[in-house]
Every structure is written in structure tokens, then in C-alpha cells.
Amino acid sequence: MTTRPTQAEARGLQSAREIEGHLSALESFTPMALGVLSVASGIYTYLGVSSLLSDGGAMSFFAAIAYSLAVSVAIFVFWSYLIRLLPAMRTASARLGLFLSMALGSLAIIAMSSWLNAAALAGSAAVEQHLALTVQDYQNGLEQANRVAVAAQGLGLDVARARQSFQDLSAQEATGDLSGTAGRGAVFRVLTQKADELAVLETQIEGQGPLVAAAFSEGNDILSRMRTLTASSGDVEQRSVEFAEESVRLAGLIAQLRQLSVAPLVARAAQDLSASVVLPELDGSTAVIRSGQQSTIDSVLTLLGRRAETLEQAANDVIAMPTPDDITYTPISTADAVLRYAGDFIPSWAGAIAIDLLPAVLVLIMMVSQSAIRADRGTTAPEETMTLGEIRAALAALREMDMHGEISRAPAVPEPVAAEPAAAEPVVVQPDPQERPAEPPHIVGGRR
């Protein structure tokens, strides 16, 4: 005899049957959903693989198709296994083992599919970002090279001031205000010699100015074309080829700007200014005049050394300015660009990973649902959970088996044959007072 379920157990059984009904309805289209997700991931994987294969022939096409099909099948089979097996596990060790398997499989899916999906979703944008950053590097290099060249052009003012000072001293010497003897003697020739040297250097510096301005202007024009290639529409690979051509021209202009800097020239001229002095013969008519000329020449040489030190220090300051590093544009594929700039494309990465790992949420939902069913059923015996429809189906099956002779009955004991026929008397079977009638099974209402 079975015990009647309590009211709480009856409610639990009804809740379990309700959850089972929902799961039965959901399982009808779950494989189709997994198939759609697998196919979608395979399509994006195909696009990502195609961007990596340089050869566009038939072999590359079939290779990309084969890889994407393998990814689709792997994703579908992997999640089909887990969505069936993991919710059915009852022990903690079995669940932990399958959880580890799910984590390992998820990493494998990300490695073989998700990053290629991200390359298909954001590959062009990542390459464009690579182009934009390269343009920024070239712009910084061009501006730095121009800054150094312009600063070197500023040395022309220092050279002009030194040249003017020697010209003024020579004019004073011509009138006799410097050495005390008017004329164009030895002191005048020394002053004129250094003024002419500085004038030549000043002319050279002024001649570099238009070249620096023209190079900087052409560099800006190239940068403008490179920015246009970065932001324009069309195939990013073709734009990358044109971008590389422009980058080569711009790199040459930056190197030319570095060579147009006159700071090294000024530094060498400053060293020669005091070291290479051709002293004329003193031409004074008397010893007193020659002594005055020598004293004036010594003062001029001292002044010349100070001017040379000042020019050399100014030139060295310009030379010490940081110069731009050599910049070389390196073409990059969409997959490499997505990996290099992954932090800037987090939404694309999230979508690429989600399309592959979304079935993990379905697995967890199935686990929670199966746990709830087990908890609601508790320890109730199976015969106590039969619905009225199940009992009717069982009785119908028993009748069908009886009709086909599948249920063996005990053979009846033959009665002895009487010598003479006698009238049959009804036999009355007395019930045993110790035997209690069997109770009908308890039926819990419900439907599956």
C-alpha cells in the first residue's frame, strides 16, 4: 500500500510537470537555433579567413569554405553535447568535469573562430585606424623636422649681428676711431676679412629658407592626401597601397628637411671663424703706430673668439633639439589590425565572441530547469506520480497485450467427470474475514 502524497508534494509534482512541458516545447526548436548560430559564425569565419589568404584562386576559396564548415560543425556538435549531458549530471564531480570541458571548448572556439569573426566585423575599421595613427606619426615627424630647420634658419640673425659688428668696427678703423690711425691698414683688413666670411654664411642660410618652406608645404599636401585615403570609402586594401606610395614620398621629404638644417654648417663656420685668421703684416710707418695696430688686432681676435663661441653655442643648441625618428609604414591585414587594436574595438569583439558562446547560456538554463524538476519531484515513488492519462494508457496497453496472448494466465484445474449428470448447484464463496479489500491506487490529477 502506498501513502497519499502531501499537499506540498502534490504542488511540487505539478510544478515539475509544468517545467517538463515547457522544456518539451523548447527542445523542438533548440537544434534549429544552434544550427543558425553555427552557420552565422561560419559565415563570419569565412570572411575572416578570406582576408588572411593572399591568393584569391579556387584553392583559397575551397580552403576558406572548408575551414568555416569545420567551425560550424564543431560549434553545433560541441554545444549539442553540453546542452544534453551537462543538465543530466547529478554529482558535483561530473558537473565540474563537464564545466572544465566547456571552458576548454570555449577557449578553442575563441581561438579558431571568434577572432576571425572580429576581423570580419571590424577589420576594415581597424586597418583605417592603423592608417590614421601612421598619418599622425608622419605629421609629428614632419613638424619636428620643420621645427629644427626653422630654428636653424634663426641662426641667420646671430650671423648677421656678428657680421654687422665687424663691419662697424672696420668703418671705425677706416676713420681712425679704432686704432687711432685712419686708413685701410692691417686692422681694417682683418675686420673686413671676417665680415666677408660671415656675409657668405648669412647668404647660405638665407638661401635655405625657401627650400625649407617648399619642403614643408609639399609635406602637408602629402599628409592631406593620406588623410583622404584614410577616411574615404572603397576597398581598404587598395587604399593601403596608395597610402604606402604617399608615405614613401613623405619619408623622403622629412629626410630632406633634416638635411636642410644649417645648424651643422654654422657650428663649423664658428669654429673656423677664430681658428683661421690670416694676420696681415703691420704696415705702420712708425713703431708706435705698429704697436697700436698689434694691440688692436689682439683685441679684435679676442672679440672674434667670443663671437665664435656664441655662434657655436647657438648652433649646438639647435643640433641638440630632438630629431624625428625614421618612420616606415608597414601594411597590415584586417586580422592583425583587429588583434593590435583590440582595445579600441571591444563592442566588435564582444559580438564576435557572443555569437559563439551564447549557447552556454542555454546550457545553464537547462541545468537550472533540470535541478528544479528534481527538487520538485523529491523522493516520491514513480507510481505515485502517474497522471490519469498515464493510467488510462497503461490499462489500454495491458488490454492489448491480453488480446494478443502476451499475458499468460494460470491454467484452470479440470473438474472430475461424474458418472451421472447431476444438477449443478451454485457455489457460494465465503469471504475471509481476515482479508481486507485492496485500496485503489491514489491518483494525482495533472497533465504532462
| String of DSSP letters for 340-359 | HTGGG-HHHHHHHHHHHHTH
pLDDT for 221: 93
Distance (Å, rounded) from C-alpha 376 to C-alpha 433? 42
Question: Above 50 in pLDDT, residue 425?
Answer: no
Least confident of 144-158, 324-338, 352-366, 409-423: 409-423
- Determine the average pLDDT of the residues in 7-35: 75
Percent of the chain clearing pLDDT 70 (strictly above): 73
Taking only the tens place, the pLDDT of each residue in 260-314 is: 888 888 888 887 776 655 455 555 556 656 666 666 666 666 777 777 788 888 8
For residue 312, the model assigns a pLDDT of 84
pLDDT at 222: 93
Closest CA to 194 of 141, 122, 269, 135: 269
Considering only residues 82 and 380, tell me which one the structure prediction assigns the higher pLDDT.
82
C-alpha cell at 188: 681694417
Write down all domains in the chain, each with its CATH number in brackets.
7-123+345-385 (no CATH), 125-331 (1.20.1260)
Cell 569573426 appears where?
117
8 A C-beta contact, residue 384 and residue 2: yes
Q: Which of 157-161, 328-332, 396-400, 433-437 comes out lowest in average pLDDT?
A: 433-437
Structure confidence at residue 428 (pLDDT): 43
Does the pTM surpass 0.75? The reply is: no
Average pLDDT, the chain: 78
pLDDT score at 435? 47
Residue 29: per-residue pLDDT: 83
Per-residue pLDDT, averaged over 50-68, amounts to: 81
Confidence band for 74, pLDDT divided at 50, 70 and 90: very high
Q: Lowest-confidence range among 74-83, 171-180, 184-193, 201-210?
A: 171-180
The average pLDDT across 358-374 equals: 85
Q: What pLDDT does 173 receive?
A: 65
Bigger pLDDT: 188 or 2? 188
The whole-number pLDDT of residue 292 equals 61
3-state helix, strand, coil in the chain (%, to 5): 75, 0, 25
Among 130-139, 167-176, 289-298, whose mean pLDDT is lowest?
Answer: 289-298
> Who's near 430: CB < 8 A, 6+ residues apart?
none
**pLDDT band with cut points at 50, 70 and 90 for residue 79:** very high
Residue 196 confidence (pLDDT):
83
Q: How far is CA 360 from CA 82, 98, 242, 329, 442, in A?
A: 8, 12, 45, 42, 41
